[in-house]
Amino acid sequence: MRPIFSKSDFFVISGPCAIESYDQMTAILNSEHKPSLIRGGIYKMRTKKSSFQGLGAEAIEIIKDLKDKMPFQFITEITDPRQIETLMPIVDCFQVGARNMYNYELLKELSHHKRPVVLKRGFSATIQEWLGATEYLHDLGEENIFLCERGIRTFETKLRNTLDLGAVIYLKNNHPFKVIVDPSHAMGDSKYVTDASLAALAAGADGLLVETHPTPKHALSDPEQALDLDLYNELIKKLQKACPIFEKELRI
């Protein structure tokens, strides 16, 4: 087991919605505040079948190549238990997406493999249902289960989702799990991501899962919400100032 989070840290996991090319990933890895906790979609679960579905095997090769050249930890979404064996060699932490929070067969299978799991909240999942899903991961140990608040569906339509920071506060007060916030899918617009990130820190979150891209307007998925590398660097500078106020140490 390789736990990637520790107690007083505030983690920023960043990277593209989907891995698109070797150059895209090297640009991200070489940005001014070099990230070492990298996310990147290999298999994408898109609402429309005609949308970009991820590079699959080609993205696995890109990550293998990059891991030979530089040190970083890698997290990617797993959408089917049959992907476990091919992903295990490159993955330090699995992500279970909002669409799969209720996929108990997937969760049961992941509980037998020695990788931490980031469990995103389902679109309309209550906190109770979300916690129910963690029971299927029980064998991993609570220190290897990270809950990710990524915004829920409400009557509100101005933003992509409604970021439920109340859930973060509730969970941090009542449960042992680490809780991270995905401000990108919650807000759906890069111009709100920094403020939502600072609010997550203030609410007691243990970290962020944030989408970045060297050229967001050319991104093949979620172009509106990805931070470009300048905005990413600005976010890190703000977090460097804010983390000490909340007695957290920033890890990127």
The residues that touch ligand PEP, with contacts defined as CB under 6 A, are 17, 41, 97-99, 120, 150, 182, 185
Name the residue whose CB lies closest to ligand PEP. Answer: 97
248 binds, among Mn ion, ligand PEP, none (CB under 5 to 8 A by kind): none
Q: How many CA atoms lie within 13 A of 201 on its CB side?
A: 26
Q: How far is the CB of 90 from ligand PEP (least distance, A)?
A: 17
Phi, psi of 91 (to 5 degrees): -100, 130
Residue 75 or 250: the one with the smaller Cβ distance to ligand PEP is 75
CB of 53 or CB of 242, closer to ligand PEP: 53
Beta carbon of residue 99, minimum distance to ligand PEP (angstroms, whole number) = 6
Three-state DSSP state, 210: strand
Q: How far is the CB of 86 from ligand PEP (least distance, A)?
A: 19
> Is residue 187 part of the contact set for Mn ion (CB under 5 A)?
no
Q: What is the CA radius of gyration of the chain?
A: 17
Which residue pairs from 103-107 have beta carbons closer than 8 angstroms and sit at least 24 positions apart in sequence? 104/133, 104/136, 105/81, 106/78, 106/80, 106/81, 107/133, 107/136, 107/137
* Cβ-based nearer residue to ligand PEP, 41 or 183: 41
Residue nearest to Mn ion (CB): 17
Give least dist CB 151 to ligand PEP, A: 8
For ligand PEP, which is the closer residue by CB, 98 or 196? 98
Closest by Cα among 181, 217, 212, 235 to 41: 212
Rounded distance between C-alpha atoms, residue 35 and residue 17, angstroms: 15
Contact 203, 195 (CB under 8 A): no
Which residues is 211 bridged to in the sheet? 15
Please, what is the minimum distance in Å from the beta carbon of residue 162 to Mn ion?
17
- Contacted entry of ligand PEP, Mn ion, none for residue 4, CB cut-off 5 to 8 Å set by kind: none
* Part of the chain binding Mn ion (CB under 5 A), chosen from 12-20, 76-84, 173-181, 197-205: 12-20
| Residue 136 CB partners (closer than 8 Å, separation 6+) | 104, 107, 108, 111
**Given the rule CB under 5 A, which of 50-58, 80-88, 156-164, 215-223 is the region that contacts Mn ion?**
215-223
- What are the residues facing 148 on neighbouring strands? 120, 180
Which of the choices Mn ion, ligand PEP, none does residue 97 contact, using the CB cut-off of 5 to 8 A by kind?
Answer: ligand PEP
Strand partners, 119: 96, 147
Q: Which of residues 218-237 bind Mn ion (CB under 5 A)?
A: 222
- Strand intervals (E) in 18-92: 37-39, 73-77
One residue of 17, 19, 152, 181 binding Mn ion per CB under 5 A: 17
Which residues sit at the interface with Mn ion, rule CB under 5 A? 17, 222
